[in-house]
Structure 1
Amino acid sequence: MSISDLGTESIPISPALEPANGTADRNRRGLTAARVIMALMLREMTTKYGRTPGGYVWAIFEPVAMITVFAFATALVMRSPSLGNSFIVFYASGYLAFNQYRTLESVVTKALSFSRGLLRYPVVTWLDAIMARFLLNLLTNVLNTILILAGVIYLEADSTYVRLGPMVEAMTLAALLALGYGTLNALLSGIWPLWSTLYKVITRPLMLASAVLYIVEDLPPLAADILWYNPISHVTGLMRSGVFVTYNPQYISIPYVVATALVPLAIGLVFLRKHAVTIISGE
């Protein structure tokens, strides 16, 4: 074979060197989704916090006010809390975990209606809207929890040692529960608008049933057994076990909490993929 023949014959390309179009497309879609989510987060930061005097200060003030009211009201009728010596630390350890669930579930539920105008653009998907609201409010809640809990523990001098492991687990589980039930509620409220009102009525006593104002061990056995089926009570108990090192709740089941979060999340994601266009268009 002469050298001139090499120029006329096609040289096969090794499959390993061929461009992976599928992988490149997926990478581009992932990068686009990340940019869209970041843009949606910046938009919500501007609309929610940027136009209000004080901005993020109000996001910290609300849970602080709730904790203070609970602590002051209970201190009038009780000498000491169920754990520790400070009512403020006791309620902060329970309320912050509950607030993580409550706020995230609410914003995820309203994610599609909040971004309805932008969802008409092909580049913005319903999943982008959900993840943007979830991530922004998750970061806000985590920052608030660190500042508030560190502040009350330092000022009250009620605990000399804090276990971060259970606290991180509790906040993570609360976020996972909120994502699961929020996604399912976004589906149900989009298909059946009356569901939003009905859900508010059903969950109105949720804080009383989530071991925020007390610990499960203070309840009669029958009430404690019933309360076990509320996954948020596991979260608040786990959070308190990180703040009060002598508290070791035996009723907590992390697999149960994860299961009760993943089931509604899976249902919501599967059916939103099918019905998202109908929900967004409002038909």
Structure 2
Amino acid sequence: MTNTSTNAGDARRKPRVSANAPSLEARRPSGGTQRHFKALRTIVALMLREMSTRYGRTPGGYIWSLLEPVAAILFLSFGFSLMIRTPPLGTSFLLFYTTGYLPFGMYNNISNTTAKATIYSRSLLKFPAVNWLDAILARLFLNSLTNIVVMFIVIGGVWVAVDGRSVIDLPSALVGVGLAIILGLGVGTVNSVLMGLYPLWSLTWSIITRPLFLASGVLFLFRDLPPLARDILWYNPLIHITGIVRAAFYSSYDASYTSVTYVMLLSMTLLTLGLILMGRYHRDLLND
């Protein structure tokens, strides 16, 4: 009799839950959404930090990002116009060297800044809220956006200056830009690990890649090379990227030698390798 009355009392004390009322689990915010929001906020904060330190402390700020490629293109155009009458393609030295220099510069800038992402943000990576992937993505996004804006302004200015009348193949140009970004990310991620583990690798890499400007189709056309040189340089992914971008502005240019598949496979292989190595050795990089 006592047990029966006790159970009845417990039943009366229990709150009734409506069938239509949302459960406690349903009212809790998703942990995955919170993590994604925190990661995005961290990446934006790192981007703002780099913008203030790199561009905010120098007179002119972002203007130098625009003046540097413009000065290089003007120098190339003026120098080669003194030696040859017409460029290898078209009639404008400015447009020819712009379409070769800017994609190469985009790759070079992204790969170099990504490679130094963990070194640049080493002090912040000791905080639990910041990890190595945030540092790499912040530098990737910031430098990609900067280079895209610079490319748009410079090419637009050159196009108006030379009175370009041909139709631009915008999808091909975007493909070339995308490949330059992905390749720069892959190379930079691998180098970020190697430079952290082996300090001499930074100097070694700069020596190895010094002739890359000459071997990437910035100053010449792939079709004008001897057969042996074409067979060797075809494996340089940058010669595919400059060829794709250049073909977008010159409808008569035959870029059938280029391979988007090859550049993508090489870039994704390097990126996968870099992420695996970074996941394995990022603690060693921070404690070194």
TM class by shorter chain equals over 0.9
1:145 to 2:125 alignment: no
Match of 2:284 among 264, 270, 278: 278
TM-score normalised according to structure 2 size: 0.91
Unmatched runs of 5 consecutive residues or more in structure 2: 1-9
What SS does structure 1 have at the residue aligned with 2:105? helix
- Equivalent residues in 2 for 1:111-122, closer than 5 Å: 111-122=117-128
| 1:218 equivalent in structure 2 | 224
Distance in structure 1 (CA, Å) of the matches to 2:262 and 2:62: 34
1:265 to 2:271 alignment: yes
Is the 2:166–2:249 Cα contact (8 Å) retained in structure 1? no
Distance in structure 2 (CA, Å) of the matches to 1:5 and 1:180: 63
- Equivalent residues in 2 for 1:25-64, closer than 5 Å: 25-64=31-70
* Cα shift readout 1:83-142 (whole Å, capped 9, x = no counterpart): 110001000001001001000000000000111111111101000000001100100000
Shift of 1:241: 0.7
Shift of 1:82: 1.4
Shift of 1:81: 0.8
Larger Rg: 2
Unmatched runs of 5 consecutive residues or more in structure 1: none
Shift of 1:19: 2.6
Matched AA of 1:227: L
| 2:86 equivalent in structure 1 | 80
RMSD of aligned residue pairs (Cα, Å): 2.2
| 1:186 equivalent in structure 2 | 192
Distance 1:6 1:218, change over 3 A: farther
* Cα shift readout 1:239-271 (whole Å, capped 9, x = no counterpart): 001111111211111010001101111011012
1:198 to 2:204 alignment: yes
Is the 1:105–1:182 Cα contact (8 Å) retained in structure 2? yes
Distance in structure 2 (CA, Å) of the matches to 1:242 and 1:106: 26
Is the 1:93–1:236 Cα contact (8 Å) retained in structure 2? yes
Which consecutive aligned stretches of 4+ in structure 1 deviate over 4 angstroms post-superposition?
4-14, 20-23
What SS does structure 2 have at the residue aligned with 1:161? coil
Distance in structure 2 (CA, Å) of the matches to 1:240 and 1:197: 31
What SS does structure 2 have at the residue aligned with 1:124? coil
| 1:131 equivalent in structure 2 | 137
Shift of 1:13: 8.1
